[in-house]
Amino acid sequence: MLRLYDTRQRGVAEIVPARPGQLRMYACGPTVYRFAHVGNMRTFLLCDLIRRNAERHGWSVIVCQNITDVGHLADDNEPDPDGEDKVLSQARAEGKSALDVARFYEDAFWRDCAALNIGRPDYAPRASESIDLMIDMIAKLIATGHAYPVTGGSVYFDARSAPGYGAISGNRLDDLRPGYRFADGVDTGKRFHADWALWKAAPADRELTWQAPWGTGFPGWHTECSAMSLKFLGTQIDIHTGGIDLRFPHHEDERAQSNSIAGHEVVRHWVHGEHVLFDGRKMAKSTGNVVLLSDVAARGLDPLAVRLAFLEHRYRQQMNLTWDTLAASDGTVRRWRELVADWANEPSKPICAEYWSRLTTALDDDLDTPAALRTLRELAKDRAIPAGSKFETFAATDRILALDLVSLVGKPRSAPLPEEADAMLGERAAARERNDFAASDRLRDALADLGVAVRDTPEGQAWTVRPAPRNAC
Ligand SMILES: [Zn+2]
């Protein structure tokens, strides 16, 4: 039985799909105004891991993940959002149209997902193409007394009309700081400080505005996720994923909207992924501490080294990435592929039941990927298990971990990388990073003694391994 930590229930819960055999999952997608950094990608990996694990249980899985190309304002994580639309702001900076910017970064996002083996969602609606859905939803909320239009054309959700508001984040309405903000008089009709805009009035000559019964404007960011999830997944959604920072106000507001439309609890389980630090600091453009997947590839590291580095930590544990840990993960991924290809050449044997049981138990236990990886390392070294069984067990596990571990099977290749060379290659990458060329040269010579020839390329270090002599044991 698959179990996951449910933020609203404050505990690990058994996942029982509302429709037997079919899991419906919604994932908050990217706001496409810049390249996603590797920390952003960890959230999307969470959805992919749940999907792969659910499919192992024989469930069909339907995933909807939105593309936010309008309505996400710079301060939308504040209780009283204000500020400029992130896509419009970037479009001005790049001298392009808003939709050109949005499509460019959306394409980049899908490429990054593919490089990390993060599967495509079944539905990936764009906010800018779903405006009718949102207008319909807002009209229903107004008709049922959950929302109200104000002079000027904005529409607010009446927070006090949603019983149980705050259950995800623990933020009670009474405790929320009153923080009235008035933007050119547009917000003057707001009745309660915690009410939020479902529709924001805007001048008709602004890019990305639409006509609504209340006036010209654009939808609020929280509006889109309710409208899209209800449209594509219905009013019974098994799992909703997102980054931990989306708990409030984004998910809280979305829950209030969706429950008000459906008249019952729509999302059965809210599952949140934790942040990634890089070199001990938050990844943020403002501090220059941002690492993109293209930076990883430029150093000659396999993008799936990032996926493995994430899997070394449970999704709800904050983690720190460094270039050293990525180099070590890169070495592990490459060594495992070599081993799996070697094992594939040995006589075929059934999957190792004991290890498979331990692996699947760990994955079902709130995605305990660190335990699963420890089990794989133990299996790789276990001399009692025939190579053919190791191959089958690694191959089956890789359908969930998705590290391309069978990619070298049947391919011509150099000899496997000696185990001790992994750490040395990582140390050498780090030495070059800090311009310590004496250490780099010393490590190159030591690697050569192990039969590993290293060369430096514009993409980082590359290596070949001299095959062992035929008579070696
Ligand atoms: Zn969302």
Of residues 162 and 188, more confidence is placed in: 162
Task: For residues 56-64, give the mean pLDDT.
Answer: 98
Is residue 265 within 8 Å of residue 295, measured between CB atoms? no
CA distance 433 to 410: 35
CA distance 376 to 361: 13
Is residue 128 within 8 Å of residue 99, measured between CB atoms? yes
How many A from CA of 102 to the centre of ligand 1?
17
Give residue-wise pLDDT tens across range 73-117: 765 554 444 567 777 788 788 888 888 888 999 999 999 999 999
Q: Residue 322 — pLDDT band, cuts 50, 70, 90?
A: very high
How many A from CA of 171 to the centre of ligand 1?
18
Tell me, what's the pLDDT at 284? 79
Residue 200's alpha-carbon distances to 147, 209, 223, in angstroms, are 13, 9, 11
Question: Per CATH, which fold does 3-273 belong to?
Answer: Rossmann fold (3.40.50)
Tell me, what's the pLDDT at 283? 86
Give residue-wise pLDDT tens across range 209-250: 999 999 999 999 899 999 999 999 999 999 999 999 999 999
- Looking at the chain, the whole-number percentage of residues with pLDDT higher than 70 is 93
Q: Residue 184 — pLDDT band, cuts 50, 70, 90?
A: very low
Q: Residue 263 — pLDDT band, cuts 50, 70, 90?
A: very high
Tell me, what's the pLDDT at 414? 67
Is residue 178 within 8 Å of residue 159, measured between CB atoms? no
How many A from CA of 67 to the centre of ligand 1?
9
Tell me, what's the pLDDT at 470? 36
How many A from CA of 3 to the centre of ligand 1?
23
How many A from CA of 285 to the centre of ligand 1?
22
pTM, 2 dp? 0.85
Is residue 200 within 8 Å of residue 217, measured between CB atoms? yes
How many A from CA of 150 to the centre of ligand 1?
25
Q: In the chain, what are the domain boundaries? A: 3-273, 277-413, 415-473
How many A from CA of 47 to the centre of ligand 1?
13
Which of 52-66, 262-276, 394-408, 442-456 shows the lowest per-residue confidence on average (mean pLDDT)?
A: 442-456
Tell me, what's the pLDDT at 180? 46
Tell me, what's the pLDDT at 349? 96
Long-range CB pairs of 86-92, under 8 A, 24+ apart, other chains included: 86/31, 86/33, 87/31, 87/32, 87/33, 87/208, 88/206, 88/207, 88/208, 89/33, 90/33, 90/34, 91/207
Q: Residue 398 — pLDDT band, cuts 50, 70, 90?
A: very high
How many A from CA of 447 to the centre of ligand 1?
48
Give residue-wise pLDDT tens across range 350-386: 999 999 999 999 999 999 999 999 999 999 999 999 9
How many A from CA of 257 to the centre of ligand 1?
12
How many A from CA of 251 to the centre of ligand 1?
7
The helix (H) or strand (E) run that includes residue 5 is: strand 3-6
Is residue 25 within 8 Å of residue 240, measured between CB atoms? yes
How many A from CA of 413 to the centre of ligand 1?
44
How many A from CA of 224 to the centre of ligand 1?
7
Interstrand relation of 11-14 and 3-6 (parallel, antiparallel or unpaired)? antiparallel
Task: For residues 422-450, give the mean pLDDT.
Answer: 90
User: What DSSP string describes 58-75?
Assistant: T-EEEEEE-BB-S--BTT
How many A from CA of 270 to the centre of ligand 1?
12
Q: Residue 471 — pLDDT band, cuts 50, 70, 90?
A: very low
